[in-house]
Amino acid sequence: MKVCCIGAGYVGGPTCAVMALKCPDIVITLVDKSSERIAQWNSDKLPIYEPGLDEVVKKCRNVNLFFSTDIETAIKEADLIFISVNTPTKTCGNGKGRAADLKYVESAARMIAEIAQSNKIVVEKSTVPVRAAESIMHILRANQKPGIHYDILSNPEFLAEGTAINDLLNADRVLIGGEETTEGHEAVAKLSWIYEHWIPKQNILTTNTWSSELSKLAANAFLAQRISSINSLSAVCEATGADVSEVARAVGLDSRIGSKFLQASVGFGGSCFQKDILNLIYICENLNLPEVAAYWQQVIDMNDYQKRRFSQKIIESLFNTVSDKRIAILGFAFKKNTGDTRETAAITVCQTLLEEGAKLDIYDPKVEPEQIIDDLTHPSVTESPENVKKAVQIHSDPYSAVRATHALVICTEWDEFVDLDFQRIYQSMMKPAYIFDGRKILDHERLHQIGFHVQTIGKKYQRSGLLRSWGIVPQL
Ligand code: UDX
Ligand code: UDX
Ligand code: ADP
């Protein structure tokens, strides 16, 4: 079997690499319209950072995994084509800021229609709104050449960045949605056969196309909702003296609820959660289900509130002014073990501090400096990119980032931050020295002993430092 994947990004890249590793009998060609991206995939420095990806790519590249810009040949030769192009939120027109922009999916479908000379199974792998497979089908069938048959499947990807290789190797489930016809069932069986190379058959779920598409949006909405729920409680904890970690543990031990995704934080980021929920909201509005739309909107509103609340807390703690104060930002990626900054909470925190006149010293172990500058000078973030460039310094070492700063802000939970020499950091900072731990990863008691003023999410503090949750009377 020959497989082609259109779109060599965060989804297409790791997915095809693992597929190639587990299916030596299948030849996979990953194509992208960006020749720069393809050149990176063919080089020693891959375009995305993902633990374990390098090894897998090195093992399979030019054996049964090929990276190419020759989209035409790859489509012509393939029996099965994955579409894993980006589906950003629309920035203009009808559905602006909410609906998914399907222009890249559409252009991929049109390309297939134009080039294909034999039957194809076309698999939608990008996260796209319910009924997107139907749009792909319309385009393909309206442009069908005689004797060519298309089957369209939905096969959403559930991998999370930073753990993509493990998620792909040990997927909880693989979901395949197809048409309820004989040909549809055969196409589902062919795609299932690929996954059966390494996923137990009972973990491969087949549904109709729409259920499959909705399940992807629903899974991301549920995960994000858990984070917003615990983050909402973190505000209650800070106001009362409860400790959100203790609450999360107690709640999560109920087997009906479970312990995962209850980590209170500065707010969720990433390319999927917000985009998918906005999508769900847009669909609900179009289906005239305003109550459902409003319900899911709250998950996003709570996340925005959390990001704002954390940023405000920094300003308030620093005597209500950060103008001309140096502040170190440790971590810029939306989570650890990735260099991805899409929708990262760090952008909101930096934006707020910059608007208040702060000078920022930013360090992230994996995010490229140009990416940080691009994000902070984007028109949606600032009207004066030149001022931002003057106020921001990017560091390649955390100790140089914190030197002579008034405060240190943890925005990403990188493991290396836990083991920093905080005694040394304290000595090099301005006094009083503040730490704002937006990820709850540090040993706050110890930091307090060193002399830091510590603030974190979901636990109440007094000026003098940390207050244990059992040590104070809630002021209700
Ligand atoms: C609940 C809590 O489960 C329990 O831990 C707490 O101590 C008291 O409140 P209870 O109200 O007795 O217990 O029943 P529960 O099984 O939780 O069901 C509550 C309601 O939710 C019922 O009307 C039930 O039909 C409904 N429900 C439950 C659903 O509609 N869907 C579900 O998936 C589960
Ligand atoms: C998510 C889904 O997990 C994945 O299944 C889907 O395919 C794509 O979207 P991803 O965005 O890569 O994956 O990362 P995820 O681990 O889900 O984290 C998303 C955001 O939530 C991050 O900013 C993370 O820091 C935050 N988060 C996660 C919390 O704040 N608390 C938690 O308990 C978990
Ligand atoms: P995701 O996180 O969904 O994988 P990315 O932005 O990382 O999104 O990757 C999507 C990739 O798809 C990009 O590298 C982009 O260049 C590529 N792409 C978009 N449209 C097309 C197209 N019509 N043909 C080929 N590649 C495309």
Nearest in space to 308 (alpha carbons), one of 351, 258, 279, 263? 351
Residues 131 and 223 in one domain: no
- Mean pLDDT computed over 363-377: 97
Answer with the one of 199, 222, 249 that is the final residue of a domain: 199
Angle at 426 between CA 424 and CA 430, to 5 degrees: 130
CA of 328 to the centre of ligand 1 (A): 47
Query: Are 340 and 271 contacting, i.e. CB atoms less than 8 angstroms apart?
Result: yes
CA of 233 to the centre of ligand 1 (A): 21
CA of 63 to the centre of ligand 3 (A): 23
Q: Is the pLDDT of residue 475 over 50?
A: no
Q: How many domains would you assign to the chain?
A: 2
Tell me, what's the ipTM? Answer: 0.94
Structure tokens at 216: 């992807």
Q: Which of 6, 85, 112 to mutate to test the pocket of ligand 3 (most atoms within 8 A of CB)?
A: 85
- What domain range includes position 14? 2-199
3-state secondary structure of 320: coil
**What does the pLDDT look like over 303-345, one tens digit per residue?**
999 999 999 999 999 999 999 999 999 999 999 999 999 999 9
Query: Are 95 and 76 contacting, i.e. CB atoms less than 8 angstroms apart?
Result: no
Position 94 scores a pLDDT of 87
CATH of the domain at 95: 3.40.50.720
237 is a catalytic site residue: no
Reported confidence tier of residue 466, pLDDT bands at 50, 70, 90: very low
CA of 304 to the centre of ligand 2 (A): 16
Residues 6+ apart with CB under 8 A from 186: 151
Dist CA 272 CA 281 (whole Å): 14
Q: Which residue has the higher pLDDT, 222 or 99?
A: 222
Residues 15 and 52 in one domain: yes
Query: Which helix or strand (DSSP H or E) is residue 173 part of?
Result: none
Q: What is the CA radius of gyration of the chain?
A: 24
Residues 323 and 472 in one domain: yes
Q: What is the DSSP letter of 197?
A: T
Dist CA 179 CA 188 (whole Å): 9
3-state secondary structure of 410: strand
Q: Which residues are annotated as a binding site for NAD(+)?
A: 7-12, 32, 37, 85-89, 126-127, 161, 272-275, 342
Angle at 449 between CA 443 and CA 450, to 5 degrees: 90
Q: Which of 334, 364, 440 to mutate to test the pocket of ligand 2 (most atoms within 8 A of CB)?
A: 334
Position 472 scores a pLDDT of 41
- Mean pLDDT computed over 77-81: 98
Q: Which ligand is nearest to the CA of 254?
A: 1
Dist CA 70 CA 86 (whole Å): 19
**What does the pLDDT look like over 16-67, one tens digit per residue?**
999 999 999 999 999 999 999 999 999 999 999 999 999 999 999 999 999 9
Minimum mean pLDDT among 7-21, 106-120, 284-298, 456-470: which range?
A: 456-470
Residues 157 and 223 in one domain: no
Residues 301 and 425 in one domain: yes
CB contact burial 139-169 (16+ within 10 A = b; e otherwise):
bbeeeeeeeeebbbbbbbbbbebbbbbebbe
Answer with the one of 151, 179, 199 that is the final residue of a domain: 199
Position 462 scores a pLDDT of 55
CA of 269 to the centre of ligand 2 (A): 7
- The finding on whether 23 has its CB within 6 A of some atom of ligand 3 is no
Q: Give the pTM.
A: 0.93
Residues 19 and 68 in one domain: yes
Q: Which residues are annotated as a binding site?
A: 7-12, 32, 37, 85-89, 126-127, 161, 272-275, 342
Query: Are 202 and 166 contacting, i.e. CB atoms less than 8 angstroms apart?
Result: no
Query: Are 116 and 303 contacting, i.e. CB atoms less than 8 angstroms apart?
Result: no
Residues 84 and 111 in one domain: yes
Mean pLDDT across the chain: 94
Q: How many CB atoms lie within 10 A of CB 458?
A: 24
472 forms bridges with which residues in the sheet?
Answer: none
Residues 230 and 271 in one domain: yes
Position 470 scores a pLDDT of 39
Residues 269 and 313 in one domain: yes
Dist CA 371 CA 64 (whole Å): 32
Residue 106 to residues 33, 85, 139, 214, 281: CA-CA distances in angstroms? Answer: 14, 10, 8, 19, 22
Residues 189 and 212 in one domain: no
- The finding on whether 82 has its CB within 6 A of some atom of ligand 3 is no
Query: Are 453 and 463 contacting, i.e. CB atoms less than 8 angstroms apart?
Result: yes
Cis peptide before 432 (omega within 30 of 0): yes
- Mean pLDDT computed over 270-285: 94
Position 55 scores a pLDDT of 98
Q: Which atom of ligand 2 is nearest to the CA of 164?
A: 12
Residues 6+ apart with CB under 8 A from 262: 226, 227, 230, 248, 251, 252
Q: Is the pLDDT of residue 295 over 60?
A: yes
Dist CA 439 CA 416 (whole Å): 13
Q: Which of 33, 111, 343 to mutate to test the pocket of ligand 3 (most atoms within 8 A of CB)?
A: 33
Q: Which atom of ligand 2 is nearest to the CA of 273?
A: 9
> In this structure, which residue's CA is closest to atom 3 in ligand 3?
86
Handedness of CA 30, 31, 34, 38 (dihedral sign): positive
- The finding on whether 417 has its CB within 6 A of some atom of ligand 2 is no
Of residues 272, 284, 350, 411, which has the active-site annotation? 272
Residues 397 and 358 in one domain: yes
Answer with the one of 199, 217, 244 that is the final residue of a domain: 199
Query: Are 17 and 1 contacting, i.e. CB atoms less than 8 angstroms apart?
Result: no
Residues 139 and 248 in one domain: no
Residues, the chain:
476
Q: How many CB atoms lie within 10 A of CB 472?
A: 12
3-state secondary structure of 412: coil
CA of 222 to the centre of ligand 1 (A): 19
